[in-house]
Amino acid sequence: MLNKSHGPILAGLLLVLAGVGHFLWHASSVVPDSMPASWHIPDEFKVGDEPITPLPLTVSLDARKVALGRRLFSDTRLSRDNTVSCESCHALNKGGVDGLPRSVGIQGATGDINAPTVFNSGFNFRQFWDGRAASLEDQIDGPVQNPKEMGASWPEVVAALEKDGSYHADFAALYQSGIQRESIKDAIATFERSLITPNARFDRFLRGESNQLDGQEFAGYQLFKELGCASCHQGSNVGGNMYEKLGLVENYFEIRGNVQTVDYGRFNLTGNEEHRYEFRVPSLRNVALTAPYFHDASAPTLEKAVTIMAKYQLGVELGDADVAKIVKFLNTLTGEIPPSLHGELAK
């Protein structure tokens, strides 16, 4: 049984896989290295008592706003030179990311941080790695006005969209104010909230379909819990609801070197030394699709990400067998195409 002295270690079990994650100290005795081909869920396992809960199958949103937000999400006129859209960095056919260590903005400018996934972002308690945006609406201000991303101003964006007669009709039907900064943000944020990925195999397992996981995947989940990973990665989004520091046992940034301002994380907002190197815990939903991992994209694979977290969060060299089990479990968190994109990405 864990006691209070474990608190700092468990609190540190999170971090930043691109989104994502953390896991682990080496406890090969917790779960056997191999499970028989035929296996059964232990009698003491109670699905309803698990720290992770299934994503909702649907969310209630205005379908007209979702459709308008979808158009805006892929419209390059939100950028100053008409070359970059939201989808440029959050590709909906690539797990909601671009797969690059740093996204490329207008005029080939390279961003400062690894772009997190847009899928299930509506369930995050804050937006951006450092949590500087309280909502999806607030988050939209960032890329539109960032000189390394879209490099535009809202007056420029509004003026560009007002030249499109089809937008006039759509906005007029939904917003008394018409095409304005706040209505544009509201439509895009509504679309982003529709980007849920329900019915992952693990969700179906939690709903009672025991055949959705094989023995190794279940062993990985048990290890994930017993090592303490679920103390930070829990709930329906398997994370996204707290902050944590990267490098609790070993100084990740000192060893990695070349520390940049962006590495300071939440400290850049608060100036509180306790927040230096602290980031919003990423969701592990669809994590198998969102490489490279961490805010600095230093882990090209899930295996590498799990290994790095073991070393820097817990000071442990995690064995290959345990890494493999955890990765197998993480692969069961890949969900279905967001309902709002049915008929689009399913082609």
CATH of the domain at 204: 1.10.760.10
280 in helix, strand or coil?
Answer: strand
Predicted local distance difference test score (pLDDT) of residue 103: 97
The mean of the pLDDT values for the chain is 88
Residue 208 and residue 187 share a domain: no
User: Does residue 347 surpass a pLDDT of 80?
Assistant: no
Predicted local distance difference test score (pLDDT) of residue 343: 80
**In this structure, is residue 109 part of a structural domain?**
yes
Predicted local distance difference test score (pLDDT) of residue 178: 96
The string of pLDDT tens digits covering residues 25-82 is: 233 223 334 444 467 788 778 878 899 999 999 999 999 999 999 999 999 999 999 9
265 in helix, strand or coil?
Answer: strand
Cβ partners under 8 Å of residue 211, min gap 6 = none
pTM score, whole prediction:
0.88
The answer to whether 280 and 131 are in contact (CB under 8 A) is yes
* Cα 190 from Cα 186, distance rounded (Å): 6
- Annotated active-site residue in 44, 50, 87, 149: 149
Average pLDDT of the segment spanning 139-150: 97
Predicted local distance difference test score (pLDDT) of residue 163: 95
The answer to whether 16 and 287 are in contact (CB under 8 A) is no
The answer to whether 125 and 283 are in contact (CB under 8 A) is no
Residue 183 and residue 147 share a domain: yes
Residue with the larger pLDDT of the pair 202 and 343: 202
Query: Which stretches does DSSP call E strand in 181-286?
Result: 243-245, 278-280
Predicted local distance difference test score (pLDDT) of residue 26: 30
Going by C-alpha positions, the residue among 229, 215, 208, 249 that lies closest to residue 325 is 215
The string of pLDDT tens digits covering residues 221-271 is: 998 888 878 888 899 999 999 999 999 888 999 999 999 999 999 999 999
Handedness of CA 160, 162, 166, 168 (dihedral sign): positive
Return the bridge partners of 278, or none. Answer: 245, 265
**In this structure, is residue 147 part of a structural domain?**
yes
Residue 303 a catalytic site member: no
Is the peptide bond between 51 and the residue preceding it cis, with omega within 30 degrees of 0?
A: no
Per-residue pLDDT band at 325 (split at 50, 70, 90)? very high
Going by C-alpha positions, the residue among 130, 140, 237 that lies closest to residue 190 is 140
Residue 112 and residue 50 share a domain: no
Last residue of a domain, one of 193, 226, 255: 193
Length of the chain in terms of residues written: 347
Going by C-alpha positions, the residue among 210, 195, 243, 230 that lies closest to residue 330 is 230
* Cα 324 from Cα 331, distance rounded (Å): 11
Neighbours of 100 (CB within 10 A): 14
Residue 234 and residue 221 share a domain: yes
Please give the full DSSP string across 86-120, using - where no structure is assigned: HHHHS-TTTTTS-SSSS-B-GGG-B-SSPPPP-TT
**In this structure, is residue 285 part of a structural domain?**
yes
The string of pLDDT tens digits covering residues 262-304 is: 999 999 999 999 999 999 999 999 999 999 999 999 999 999 9
Residue with the larger pLDDT of the pair 17 and 326: 326
The answer to whether 331 and 291 are in contact (CB under 8 A) is no
**In this structure, is residue 224 part of a structural domain?**
yes
Predicted local distance difference test score (pLDDT) of residue 4: 37
Going by C-alpha positions, the residue among 16, 86, 87, 55 that lies closest to residue 244 is 16
Average pLDDT of the segment spanning 2-17: 40
Predicted local distance difference test score (pLDDT) of residue 285: 98
Residue 95 and residue 32 share a domain: no
Predicted local distance difference test score (pLDDT) of residue 256: 94
Residue 165 and residue 102 share a domain: yes
Among 8-12, 82-86, 184-188, the range scoring the smallest mean pLDDT is 8-12
Residue with the larger pLDDT of the pair 175 and 315: 175
User: Does residue 218 surpass a pLDDT of 60?
Assistant: yes
The answer to whether 76 and 82 are in contact (CB under 8 A) is yes
Predicted local distance difference test score (pLDDT) of residue 330: 97
Last residue of a domain, one of 150, 172, 193: 193
277 in helix, strand or coil?
Answer: coil
Range of the domain at 99: 63-193
